[in-house]
Chains A and B, each alone.
Chain A
Amino acid sequence: MKFTQLLSESAGAMLANPLRTLLTMLGIIIGIASVVLMLAVGDGIKAFINKQLSVLGSNLVLVQADMRKSAGARLRTGTVQTLTLDDAEALNRLPSVVGAAPMLTTWSQISVGNDNSNTQVQGTTPASFKIRNLRMAKGSPITEVDVASAARVAVLGKKTAEQLFYKADPIGQTIRIDNQSFQVTGVLDNEGQSFDAGDIGEIVIVPISTARVTLVRTASPRSVQYIVVQARSAETLNDMVVDVKELLRDRHRMRAEDEDDFRVVNFGEFAKSGEAIATGLSVALGFVGAISLVVGGIGIMNIMLVSVTERTREIGIRMAIGARPADVLWQFLIEAVTICLVSGVIGVALSAGLAAAVTATGKFDMTVGFKAVAIATLFSCAVGVFFGFYPARRASKLQPVECLRYE
């Protein structure tokens, strides 16, 4: 018997009792939808993390100044600011480091005319723009000359610029930061959460030298709060962290038994814990999906057994006119698989709809990918074959004489 013929007969059998078919399919629909959603959630979380990382700049670590602990005696926090501009320059020269940007940050009152806002001000170097992936919407970034001359210039975050200037062009305008005049040279294009300043659209960037002179009091003329360091790639990140620690311990003349007087914060670790959460969620949803598929499969087996009994006479007629046991087996098996496949398609459509609805809220991106559809198809086929085989085999084992006698 030809496959197309089997398919059309399966369709006929399914449509003969639409309500029953639909109810039978429900378990598989829910199961497949769960499996597809599981994959979509997993992919969504990974995409979310990647997006966050691209806002942060990729392959970054943060080296924070910490207190010096020597010979068990602890000095008061902040008394000694252990990191310096020289540390940043030394880090910049490490072969495993792409760039290192020293940072001095503070919260300051920004005002233009009568408008004012309390905003984080970051004093840094041009290197910061490159390694943190900062793009300019307008104007130019902080330059080396600005840093060298402690120029009173500022680059505004996108939202800050809108708050202070509405639609007007801020370039060349003067703003006051803690009552001192700065000229705006540029506006950032970036948005989203950054690792050190909340929303990157709401910051103001000034040359680190200017920040030191006008805004931030530091213990020594060269100390910095933290240094952002970029590795060449995700693979070399951990090696770079080892290099960074070694270099800083060396520069800080620390003995083997001393604890580090700085802290390295690795964003790759954050990404990993995010992925662990994604995996956990996926496993939970996958579990729900698996249970639903098994329950749905048992439902299909049950209905197929009922169907075989109901159609005993039909089986007898078919056998009398030449259906071999294998033909009968295939007919019922294909019918079970068809039910599962149609359920799978509905399940995928359902989960795609749900994913689209979640995405439409704007909080979280979920996409049903090709992989999810392929896995759903495979799973629904497998359920059909697994749970359809026993009823189909039972049908094929029936004796034609007894079937024809069956009323």
Chain B
Amino acid sequence: MMPTDRSGSDALVRLTDVRKSYFSHRVETPVLHGIDLTMQRGDFLAIMGQSGSGKSTLMNILGCLDTPTSGSYVLAGQAVGQLSRAELAGLRNRTIGFVFQSFNLLKRMSILDNVALPLVYAGVARKRARERALLQLEKVGLADLAKRQPNQLSGGQQQRVAIARALVAEPPLILADEPTGNLDTRTSADIMAVFAQINQARGQSIILVTHEPDIAACAKRLVRLKDGLVLYDGPAREGLHQLQQDDATEQARRATRPAEATV
């Protein structure tokens, strides 16, 4: 989508030795222990990890919602570490489209205005913003519902609206945090089809956080996190295969241990 890369090595996302600790009562709790991650434009990346692995923290840092304790993060050529809160907001607005687990549409606002909101914050005139929002709603097949309120829509429909909102300002990166977490299996498949389609047809870069292997299987590349470190970074197919084996050995160990105890 963005053919103006100055060089081939100009990655969309480049994390170098990113560490993040939380402090409460001066006690340091490290969550990320040094993450290196590079993502080229057009990639479709899934991040997996059990709870406590640091995937939410990583997601917040990738989304410029939080800043690393140390290390550097360069997003679309912009070093994130030096930016003020207002500049971070501008960077999020231009560069990232968010899709959340709980949809996070604004109540009291029509579907159309929800989708138009990123453009409004970008300073686009309201009329123009609504036109573009309607166009985006057409692409996810919900133009008929433009005048409705979010609570009048099903979960799947709400998530489609959220995707339309994420895409409306044409950001180079989509960040999806457990986008199917609140949806049934069939709706989940529909939503994942939308992601796969925008990645293939438009070369839209996507980072997807999930704990479900079925969902991660839609991605091209898999990053597995464990205890704040990257455990695996490579093609999704091999990664998921490895995950399956790991799970199998884990289960086997669990199954054998009580047996040993009885002997």
Residues on A lying within 8 angstroms of B by beta carbon are 1-2, 4-5, 9, 12-13, 16, 313-314, 317-327, 399-401, 404
Q: Do A321 and B165 contact each other (CB < 8 Å), given the known contacts A2-B120, A2-B125, A12-B109? A: yes
Judging by beta carbons under 8 Å apart, are B121 and A327 in contact? yes
Q: Is B122 a contact partner of A401 (Cβ separation < 8 A)?
A: no
Q: Choose from B108, B118, B120 the contact partner of A13 (Cβ within 8 Å).
A: B108
> Across the interface, do B109 and A5 meet the contact criterion of CB distance under 8 Å?
no
CA distance A317 to B118 in the complex (A): 11
List the B residue with the shortest CB-CB distance to A323. B121
A-B pairs, 6 with minimum CB distance? A322-B93, A322-B121, A324-B89, A324-B86, A400-B65, A317-B104
- Collect the chain B residues with CB atoms within 8 Å of residue A313's CB: 104
Nearest chain B residue, comparing its CB with the CB of A397: B85
Question: Residues on B close to A: CB < 8 A?
Answer: 60, 63, 65-66, 85-86, 89-90, 92-94, 98, 100, 104, 106-109, 117-118, 120-123, 125-126, 165, 169
A321-B86 in contact given A5-B126, A404-B65 (Cβ < 8 Å) = no
CA of A324 to CA of B87, assembled, Å: 8
A16→B108 contact, CB < 8 A: yes
Contact in complex: A325, B89 (CB < 8 Å): yes
- Name the contact of A322 in the complex, choosing from B66, B89, B125 (C-beta under 8 A): B89
Q: How far is the CA of A12 from the CA of B120 in the complex (A)?
A: 17
Question: Hey, which chain B residues are within 8 Å of A13, CB to CB?
Answer: 108
Q: Collect the chain B residues with CB atoms within 8 Å of residue A400's CB.
A: 65-66
A321's partner among B60, B107, B118 (CB-CB below 8 A) is B118
Query: Are the C-beta atoms of A322 and B126 separated by less than 8 Å?
Result: no
- The residues of A that contact B104 with a CB separation of less than 8 Å are 313, 317, 320, 404
A-chain residues with CB within 8 Å of residue B93 when the two chains form the complex: 321-322
Given contacts A320-B63, A401-B66, contact A5 B100 (CB under 8 A): no
Q: Which residues of B contact A327 (CB under 8 A)?
A: 89, 121
Least Cβ distance of B214 to chain A in Å?
A: 25
How many Å lie between the Cα of A399 and that of B93 in the bound state?
Answer: 16
B65 touches A321 (CB 8 A): no
The answer to whether A326 touches B86, judged by C-beta atoms less than 8 angstroms apart, is yes
Q: How far is the CB of B159 from chain A (nearest CB, A)?
A: 14
Known contacts A2-B125, A12-B108, A314-B106; A320 and B65 CB within 8 A of each other: yes
Shortest distance from the beta carbon of A197 to any chain B beta carbon, whole Å:
70
The reply to whether B92 and A322 form a contact with Cβ atoms under 8 Å apart is: yes
A23 to chain B minimum Cβ distance, whole angstroms, is 20
Closest Cβ of chain B to A139, distance in Å, is 73
Q: How long is the Cα–Cα vector from A356 to B200 in the complex, in angstroms?
A: 71
Q: Tell whether, in the assembled complex, residue B118 and residue A4 are in contact, meaning their CB atoms are under 8 Å apart.
A: no
CA distance A400 to B100 in the complex (A): 14
* Closest A residue, CB atoms, query B92: A322
Q: B89: which of A5, A12, A317, A319 is its contact (CB, 8 Å)? A: A319
Whether A324 pairs with B90 at a CB distance below 8 angstroms is yes
Q: Inside 8 A of A9's CB, which chain B residues have their CB?
A: 109
Q: How far is the CB of B181 from chain A (nearest CB, A)?
A: 14
Q: Which of A2, A4, A16, A321 contacts B92 (CB 8 A)?
A: A321
Besides A320-B63, A321-B118, 20 more A-B contacts (Cβ < 8 Å) are: A2-B120, A2-B125, A12-B109, A313-B104, A314-B107, A317-B104, A318-B106, A319-B89, A319-B92, A320-B65, A320-B92, A321-B165, A324-B89, A324-B121, A325-B86, A327-B121, A400-B66, A401-B60, A401-B66, A404-B65
Chain B residue at minimum C-beta to C-beta distance from A396: B85
**Set of chain A residues within 8 Å of B108, measured between Cβ atoms:** 12-13, 16
